[in-house]
Amino acid sequence: MQALKYLNKYLIKYKGLLGVGALFVIISVVFKLFPALLIRNSFDTIAEVIENYKSGQVQNELVRWELIKYGLYIIASAILQGIFMYFMRQTIVVMSRHIEYDLKNIVFDQYQRLTQRFFKQNNTGDLMNRISEDVGKVRMYVGPAIMYALNTGFTIIFVISIMISVSPKLTLLTLAPLPLLAFLIYKVANLINVKSLAVQQQLSALSTFSQESFSGMRVIKSYHKLNWFGNQFKEEALKYRSVNEELFRVNATFQPIMILMVGISTLLTIFVGGQLYFAGEITAGNITEFIYYVNLLTWPIASIGWVTSLVQSAAASMERLNEFLSIEPDFKSGEYIPDSFKGNIEFRNVSFTYPNSGIEALKNVSFTLASGKSLGILGKTGAGKSTITSLIVRQYDPNSGEILIDGIDLKQWHLPTLKSFLGWVPQEAFLFSDSISRNISFGLNKTEAKNIQHAAIAAGVHENIIEFPNAYETQVGERGVTLSGGQKQRISIARALAKKPKLMIFDDCLSAVDTETEELILGNIKQATSSISSLIIAHRVSSVKHCDQIICLENGSIIEKGNHAELEDAGGHYSELIALQLDVS
Ligand SMILES: Nc1ncnc2c1ncn2[C@@H]1O[C@H](COP(=O)(O)OP(=O)(O)OP(=O)(O)O)[C@@H](O)[C@H]1O
Ligand SMILES: [Mg+2]
């Protein structure tokens, strides 16, 4: 319960809505009670008429109008009660939606604040759950739970006070079964929560499975694994059905329990009330009034159980959220903002081990990329090339050694500023499900958007784009055109070029294009980056041979350094690669 304290500041923020909502709750409860008093009066009137009739007095006309008047009052209170219940929802539930909106934004901001390390440690499903499921459960507390708690509280106070004023004895006896009702409903609601959780988990297993089969459909079909997947799906769907059946079984007990308890209370009212009537302690109208009260109290008392279980699951969700919101990013950006950017990078004895896998990806790496020059990094798969780029964009901090950019330690740099100077083409091209032009202009503001086409031409992808049905406005991704690996890579290059960065980093981004196109793009890149520094990572000698400086990486260590001409004759790894790659082509 402690966890929910966090939400108090939101309840205070929206105290206006909450206060007005509580007022509407009270008004609607009052109108809910009116009919009971009216029913009491009409019954007593009828009883009186009967008595008078027995003693020879007839007052038909008068009584008829009296009763019609009561009937009209009852209808009017029902309508007013409905109207105020509507207002009550319009205020309290609306408030809960506002709080939900605020919380979602806070959770999302926290996601953006956290570093790569956090995202590696948590899977996407968990991340999604926090922002949708947990926030949703918390909303049930600030919305429906508070609303029903207020409603229940006021109804119980008002109804029980009236009942006691009529007959304390009858009140005690008729209400006796209701606490048991609250307890049973609480148990059932808890069981429903447990079962719903199982249903949700199985549903997400089922959808993950289907999603994977849809995206892997090509592989499944070409390996002819349709039957296997079909059977697997059946199995998952069967599990889903059986957890759902369990849920329905529990759900089905809800109504009967309520009806049973109300029945017992009503029976007690009539039985005990009848005796009190004959003893002359209450009137006939009081008995009918009490039956009405029992019915009025049933739902609020049942909802105590329901609300309790809502609050419990909200508390559990809020605890998860609090824990998440209290995570501090493992490093913070520095403050350094330079007047101009030169693009000089220096690694000094940098070593780095991935925290999650314990793999030592870089060992004592030192190199310098001078301002305006190009550096090629060559190495086998897993050598640590991409790790170098991850460190430059500060996805991680090195375990030892220093990274200096323009002579300033990376840790002192104001990261958003540094990133505004960088054009990074990651190894795995990622395109958003959006138009090609918006994918390229991703790093730009509106006024620079005319750079899109220039960038696409330089990246050698313009020709491809204009062949698509809507050219630059073609949608890519799930429901759009499927691009080839090489096209994706080149759009990703265009995205980085369009930004007109001061330092370019190409991580193996020409692996999926043929050597001829590579040559063309490299020429364009060279032109586009002639005045800025660039870092080119590759497997092929052809991609890096024009670089001012080349380093060869193996198992996280630099084994060779020099320019193409020097390394060609050195008789080391680089010259072996040349021989090998020439052989192949
Ligand atoms: N996020 C990560 N978490 C844990 N280990 C990682 C992570 N990324 C890379 N590694 C490991 O670090 C080592 C270096 O990986 P890196 O991605 O830098 O290689 P690479 O030279 O870029 O290879 P490739 O040419 O295949 O892209 C590998 O052994 C890899 O398994
Ligand atoms: Mg890599």
User: CA angle, corner 181, sides to 175 and 187, nearest 5?
Assistant: 155
pLDDT at 583 exceeding the cut of 60: no
Say if CB 417 and CB 449 are below 8 A apart.
Answer: no
The reported pLDDT for the residue numbered 449 is 62
Query: What is the Å distance from ligand 1's center to 398 Cα?
Result: 15
User: Is residue 8 exposed (0-12), middle (13-18) or buried (19+ Cβ within 10 Å)?
Assistant: exposed
pLDDT grade for 383, boundaries at 50, 70 and 90: confident
Query: Cα–Cα distance between 34 and 71 in angstroms, integer?
Result: 12
Pocket of ligand 1 contains residue 411 by CB under 6 Å: no
Atom of ligand 1 nearest to the CA of 427: 27
Pocket of ligand 1 contains residue 139 by CB under 6 Å: no
Q: Which candidate, 248, 294, 260, places its Cα nearest to that of 184?
A: 260
pLDDT at 579 exceeding the cut of 80: no
Each residue's pLDDT tens digit, 543-577: 888 888 889 888 888 888 888 877 777 777 777 77
Residue 13: φ, ψ to 5°: -60, -40
Q: Which candidate, 59, 72, 66, 62, places its Cα nearest to that of 43?
A: 66
Residue 299: φ, ψ to 5°: -65, -50
pLDDT grade for 80, boundaries at 50, 70 and 90: very high
The reported pLDDT for the residue numbered 222 is 86
Pocket of ligand 1 contains residue 358 by CB under 6 Å: no
Atom of ligand 1 nearest to the CA of 539: 25
How do 503-507 and 360-369 pair as beta strands? unpaired
% residues pLDDT > 70 (the chain): 96
Mean pLDDT of 485-498: 85
pLDDT grade for 585, boundaries at 50, 70 and 90: very low
Q: Which residues pair with 340 in a beta bridge?
A: none
**Residue-range domains of the chain with CATH:** 2-325 (1.20.1560.10), 345-584 (3.40.50.300)
Query: Cα–Cα distance between 468 and 474 in angstroms, integer?
Result: 7
**Is the overall model pTM greater than 0.85, yes or no?**
no
Measured CA distances, 100 to 2, 106, 444 (Å)? 19, 10, 32
Query: What is the Å distance from ligand 2's center to 504 Cα?
Result: 16
Pocket of ligand 1 contains residue 585 by CB under 6 Å: no
Say if CB 418 and CB 405 are below 8 A apart.
Answer: yes
User: CA angle, corner 51, sides to 48 and 57, nearest 5?
Assistant: 95
The reported pLDDT for the residue numbered 569 is 78
Say if CB 444 and CB 499 are below 8 A apart.
Answer: yes
Query: Cα–Cα distance between 449 and 436 in angstroms, integer?
Result: 13
Strands (E), 308-353: 345-353
pLDDT grade for 584, boundaries at 50, 70 and 90: very low
Pocket of ligand 1 contains residue 379 by CB under 6 Å: yes
Atom of ligand 1 nearest to the CA of 383: 21
Write the residue with the smallest CA distance to atom 12 of ligand 1.
Answer: 361
Residue in 116, 353, 357, 397 to alter for ligand 1 test, most ligand atoms within 8 A of Cβ:
357
Pocket of ligand 1 contains residue 384 by CB under 6 Å: yes
Write the residue with the smallest CA distance to atom 6 of ligand 1.
Answer: 354
Q: Which of 118-122, 153-157, 430-434 has the lowest mean pLDDT?
A: 118-122
Atom of ligand 1 nearest to the CA of 556: 14
- Over the range 290-316, which residues count as b (16 or more CB within 10 Å of their CB) and which as e? bbbbbebbbebbbbbbbbbbbbbbbbe
The residue among 240 and 450 whose pLDDT is bigger is 240
pLDDT grade for 293, boundaries at 50, 70 and 90: confident
pLDDT at 282 exceeding the cut of 90: no
- Over the range 269-288, which residues count as b (16 or more CB within 10 Å of their CB) and which as e? bbebbeebbeeeebbbbbbb
Q: Residue 387 CA: which ligand is closest?
A: 1
Q: Which candidate, 25, 37, 29, places its Cα nearest to that of 292?
A: 37
Say if CB 507 and CB 390 are below 8 A apart.
Answer: no
Pocket of ligand 1 contains residue 381 by CB under 6 Å: yes
The reported pLDDT for the residue numbered 75 is 92
pLDDT grade for 76, boundaries at 50, 70 and 90: very high
